[in-house]
């Protein structure tokens, strides 16, 4: 199983260095942090570039953490299969999910999605949300970010958690921003979840706390 770690950063820990980090206030993280502090032994799924900071912080709270870097994986040409003559190549959705979001029966109490879906190919959007819905415990929480506008500052980032209402953003690659979703589109993608709450932000990111 690729890109899945629990309880420790088993490779690439140098990627979590302090270089180039930019602090950002996050009302969504502040809300989720209150929940994490009030619970014990939760299982957290962090869907984003591996951050040793996140691993260390979540485990310091007494929880376990698993990580899946699906944007990096989705950009690889190996997932494209030739279509019929004259057709575009097709994305191997089932193969991708089996290799990158197969948790061997594990269920999670919290998912931190970051802005991952803004960088995923269209064929993966609905299947990824369906898989998250499948592995998130009933009543479990998910924090997701969505870009509201395009611009030169919209670069793919690794997000580092802190013990405050701030998350630290660090450029993590040159993956193109593929989607700008309206609130209605976001609501449609979250239709299988029981509840969601949008948070206002002063920058180009929308934040949403979603309940399974």
- Confidence at residue 131, expressed as pLDDT on a 0 to 100 scale: 97
User: 116 falls in which pLDDT band (50, 70, 90)?
Assistant: very high
Dihedral angle sign, alpha carbons of residues 46, 48, 52, 54:
negative
Q: What is the mean pLDDT of residues 178-199?
A: 95
Q: What is the enclosing helix (H) or strand (E) of 139?
A: strand 136-147
Instruction: Judge whether residue 15 has pLDDT over 60.
Output: no
Looking at the chain, the whole-number percentage of residues with pLDDT higher than 90 is 79
> Helices marked H in the chain — which ranges?
27-37, 52-60, 70-74, 93-100, 122-135, 183-189
Query: How confident is the model over 142-171, as pLDDT tens digits?
Result: 999 999 987 767 889 999 999 999 999 999
Domains of the chain from N-terminus onward: 13-211 (3.40.50.150)
Q: Which structure tokens are listed for 152?
A: 């030169």
Q: Which residue has the tokens 């580092």?
A: 160
pLDDT(179) > 90? yes
Q: 18: pLDDT confidence band, cut at 50, 70 and 90?
A: low
């Amino acid at each position: 199983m690729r890109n899945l770690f629990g309880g420790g950063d088993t490779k690439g820990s140098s990627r979590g260095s302090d270089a180039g980090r930019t602090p950002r206030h996050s009302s969504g993280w502040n809300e989720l942090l209150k929940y994490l502090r009030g619970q014990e032994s939760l299982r957290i799924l962090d869907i984003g570039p591996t951050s040793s900071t996140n691993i260390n912080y979540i485990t310091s709270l007494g929880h376990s953490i698993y990580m899946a870097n699906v944007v990096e994986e989705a950009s690889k040409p190996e997932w494209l299969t030739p279509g019929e003559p004259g057709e575009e190549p097709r994305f191997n959705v089932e193969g991708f999910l089996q290799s990158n979001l197969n948790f061997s029966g594990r269920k999670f109490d919290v998912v931190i999605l970051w802005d991952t879906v803004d960088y995923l190919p269209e064929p993966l959007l609905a299947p990824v949300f369906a898989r998250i819905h499948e592995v998130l415990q009933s009543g479990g929480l998910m924090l997701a970010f969505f870009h509201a506008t395009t611009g030169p500052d919209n670069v793919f980032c690794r997000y580092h958690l802190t013990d405050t209402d701030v998350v630290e953003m660090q450029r993590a690659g040159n993956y193109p921003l593929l989607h700008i979703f309206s609130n209605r589109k976001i609501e449609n993608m979250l239709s299988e979840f029981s509840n969601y709450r949008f948070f206002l932000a002063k920058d180009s990111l929308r934040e949403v706390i979603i309940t399974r």
